[in-house]
Chain A
């Protein structure tokens, strides 16, 4: 059976009841893994408490941090401070400079673009061997109404076409901060198809791609990881 993942949930961190409801609904809709966005200053106890709530509902939880950067120095400083603390590091690129750095930095997992910013779109370079993913948030279509819907859809389609051309892996997430904005995985995939992905790509963008990203990062954050393709298998006392 296919496992589905939503890499961007934003339940209110100070409200355990809302978290529980969201976790139960996500589980019921068929997700097996979700990533919850935390504030960079959230303590380990808070992360563990939310993790426990989601685990009790039957969901695996990955911790995620969203960095909103406008300049190179700001982005690098945040990455240095936060990379080891969270399983997913997502960057909201608000300038060409930040996007250019984020695309080349292997510490960045996910980038998402503010489509309301520019009608020309931000320049995506060819994705290298790094693990960078482009994220499309459903909330840009359902929650925010900064642009008319058809303009928003056209811009996202353009970004997806550009990302496919540049061999980015695409992830579709709900970006839900409320129960009302959660959607079933296959419904999310259907929206992905509306945005220019084919059926297989759309299903992969909510299943195998996000799950393999989380698994890869968990290995990297583990104590046995020493570098790309290098793992500590034991320490011998001399």
Chain B
């Protein structure tokens, strides 16, 4: 049996307070459902593989055909838990190892303090 094709996205979350994995996960699912409905959510099936609260980065998994839908959903996120937030896709890859091997991820953001809202 063929394995279902997946894509992995490294996502940077920027907000004025620290986000938990649960908060981001709920917000992501709600945003996908809001834009594409239940069928879309089932097709995209976004899942958070890992979440680094210190760096505010998440590794999100989705079906290969739905990468663009997930990207557009992430781009349209402006709030998480009623506070302003933004999500940037830093990298996409077909394997988790591929994402971790890229060195330029460490350079983002250029000045982390600049991205914290006051």
A residues apposed to B, CB below 8 Å: 21, 24-25, 27-29, 138, 141-143, 149, 179-184, 186-188, 190-191, 193-194, 199
Chain A residues with Cβ under 8 A from B34's Cβ? 149
**New A-B contacts (10) at CB < 8 Å, excluding given A141-B76, A180-B84, A194-B69:** A21-B114, A25-B114, A29-B88, A179-B14, A179-B86, A180-B14, A180-B78, A186-B89, A191-B75, A193-B68
A187 touches B75 (CB 8 A): yes
Distance of A28 Cα from B117 Cα, bound (Å) = 19
B47 at the A interface (CB under 8 A): no
> Given A25-B110, A27-B110, is A190 in contact with B72 using a C-beta cutoff of 8 Å?
yes
Chain A residues with Cβ under 8 A from B117's Cβ? 180
Chain A residues with Cβ under 8 A from B76's Cβ? 141-142, 191
A28 touches B68 (CB 8 A): no
B71 touches A187 (CB 8 A): yes
B75 touches A190 (CB 8 A): yes
Interface of B is mostly: mixed
> Given A29-B88, A194-B69, is A183 in contact with B110 using a C-beta cutoff of 8 Å?
no
Selected from A149, A187, A199, the residue in CB contact (under 8 A) with B88 is A187
Chain A residues with Cβ under 8 A from B68's Cβ? 190, 193-194, 199
B71 touches A186 (CB 8 A): yes
Distance of A186 Cα from B92 Cα, bound (Å) = 11
Q: How far is the CB of B103 from chain A (nearest CB, A)?
A: 14
B residues apposed to A, CB below 8 Å: 14, 34-35, 68-69, 71-72, 74-76, 78, 84-86, 88-90, 107-111, 114-115, 117
13 contacts between A and B (CB under 8 A): A25-B114, A27-B110, A28-B107, A149-B34, A179-B115, A181-B86, A183-B86, A186-B89, A187-B75, A187-B89, A188-B75, A190-B69, A191-B75
> Given A180-B117, A183-B88, A186-B89, is A138 in contact with B75 using a C-beta cutoff of 8 Å?
yes
> Given A180-B117, A183-B88, is A28 in contact with B109 using a C-beta cutoff of 8 Å?
yes
Q: How far is the CB of B70 from chain A (nearest CB, A)?
A: 8
B74 touches A187 (CB 8 A): yes
B110 touches A142 (CB 8 A): no
Chain A residues with Cβ under 8 A from B90's Cβ? 184
Distance of A141 Cα from B73 Cα, bound (Å) = 11
> Given A21-B111, A28-B109, A190-B71, is A184 in contact with B14 using a C-beta cutoff of 8 Å?
no
Q: How far is the CB of B44 from chain A (nearest CB, A)?
A: 12
A199: nearest residue on chain B (CB-CB)? B68
